[in-house]
């Protein structure tokens, strides 16, 4: 017997089954259920009041006048959210808005006579709502409010967005494989560098010399060329040029545009930096374009700092030199 689709979907409760992945959606659903019942209670008692007005309204019962900024700060709401709620309450005749005598740009909100008269009707109902809510929460077997406090404290320490991005970067970084130079990869070294040079500048003779013969100009002199590979595709490259036994340059770094900001540049730079350090380098530097602000930020995070006059410019295009800061 085939179960009708509507019955199957209803029994499924996908949000519940998704667990923590749908945590925010489940909280929103829970909030909607609670708010719906509270709104129904207001209507039954003949009170024209919306659930979403409660935090602002309650604050105004404690303070005679509060600015939009003050309300937003006290409730940890955004300014647009407070403005929207205030607009609804104003149209309902529950608040009045006046200009701050000390600052004409600031609006001060206060309860109107209608709003003040509503307090008498609302307070007993608020007590009933609180008792009913406590009854529900007690059935959870935990201090639910304290648990929410802990979640908010955790978010104050580090936002969910930052935690997600951190995991994305780790996953992307781990997915990238560093590959040693082979003659079959020579064209990738040239084309990846040509891609960004053509976009921002022009290819100079010094570029053509190195990119056209990496084996002769880099590898045979004690340097190295490596590649970043993901899912079998070469997406980036970089070179380590040996100037002498103590001086190395990280150069010809390039990641194809569609794969940038996916940790390839970071993994390539670290691989070349580690190789230079393992070779006994005392000085490690690189040149980059001042237009490449994401790249500059990456190099700074990896221990490089901008240094003027370290080397004589070798290209006509504008560039800056960054030198690795060795730990003392």
Confidence (pTM): 0.81
Query: Which has the closest alpha carbon to 134: 225, 34, 254, 229?
Result: 34
Residue 194 structure tokens: 């040509």
- Could you report the per-residue pLDDT of 176-196, keeping only the tens digit for each? 999 999 999 999 999 999 998
- Could you report the per-residue pLDDT of 88-136, keeping only the tens digit for each? 999 999 999 998 877 777 889 999 999 999 999 999 999 999 999 999 9
pLDDT of residue 328: 52
Look-up of token digits 């970043």: 228
Residue 309 structure tokens: 């006059």
| Side-chain half-sphere exposure of 33, counting CA atoms within 13 A | 8
Look-up of token digits 């002498």: 244
**Averaged confidence pLDDT in the chain:** 92
- Could you report the per-residue pLDDT of 187-239, keeping only the tens digit for each? 999 999 999 899 888 899 989 999 999 999 999 999 999 999 999 999 999 99
Query: Which has the closest alpha carbon to 172: 234, 264, 256, 258?
Result: 264
pLDDT over 60 at 150, yes or no: yes
Q: Cβ atoms within 10 A of the Cβ of 15, count?
A: 14
pLDDT over 60 at 8, yes or no: no
CB 299 within 8 A of CB 270: no
Query: Which has the closest alpha carbon to 282: 323, 320, 313, 252?
Result: 323
CB 246 within 8 A of CB 259: no
Structural domains of the chain, ranges and CATH numbers in brackets: 45-157 (1.10.10.10), 176-324 (3.40.630.30)
Q: Collapsing DSSP states into helix, strand and coil, what is residue 107? A: strand
Angle value at C-alpha 197, between 194 and 203, nearest 5 degrees: 80
How far apart are the C-alpha atoms of 177 and 264, rounded to whole Å?
9
pLDDT of residue 14: 87
């Amino acid at each position: 017997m085939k179960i009708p689709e509507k019955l199957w979907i209803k029994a499924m409760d996908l949000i519940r089954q998704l667990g923590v992945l749908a945590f925010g959606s489940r909280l929103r659903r829970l909030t909607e259920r609670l708010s719906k019942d509270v709104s129904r209670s207001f209507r039954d008692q003949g009170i024209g009041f919306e659930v979403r007005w409660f935090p602002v309204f309650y604050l105004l019962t404690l303070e005679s006048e509060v600015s939009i900024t003050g309300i937003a700060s006290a409730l940890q709401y955004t300014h647009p959210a407070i403005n929207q709620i205030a607009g609804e309450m104003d149209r309902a005749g529950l608040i009045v808005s006046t200009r701050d005598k000390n600052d004409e740009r600031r609006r001060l909100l206060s309860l109107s006579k209608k709003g003040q008269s509503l307090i008498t009707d609302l307070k007993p109902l608020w007590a009933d709502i609180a008792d009913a809510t406590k009854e529900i929460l007690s059935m959870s077997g935990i201090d639910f409010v304290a648990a929410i406090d802990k979640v908010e404290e955790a978010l104050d320490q580090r936002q969910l967005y930052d935690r997600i991005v951190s995991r994305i970067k780790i996953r992307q970084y781990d997915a990238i494989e560093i590959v040693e130079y082979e003659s079959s990869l020579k064209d990738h070294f040239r084309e990846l560098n040509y891609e960004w040079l053509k976009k921002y500048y022009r290819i100079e003779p010094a570029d053509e010399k190195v990119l056209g013969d990496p084996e002769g100009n880099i590898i045979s002199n004690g340097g190295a060329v490596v590649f970043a590979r993901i899912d079998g595709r070469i997406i980036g490259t970089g070179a380590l040029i040996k100037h002498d036994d103590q001086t190395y340059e990280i150069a010809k770094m390039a990641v194809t545009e569609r794969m940038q900001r996916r940790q390839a540049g970071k993994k390539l730079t670290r691989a070349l930096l580690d190789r230079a350090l393992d070779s006994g380098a005392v000085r490690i530097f690189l040149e980059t374009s001042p237009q490449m602000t994401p790249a500059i930020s990456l190099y700074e995070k990896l221990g490089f700092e901008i240094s003027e006059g370290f080397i004589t410019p070798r290209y006509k295009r504008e560039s800056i030199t960054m030198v690795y800061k060795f730990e003392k």
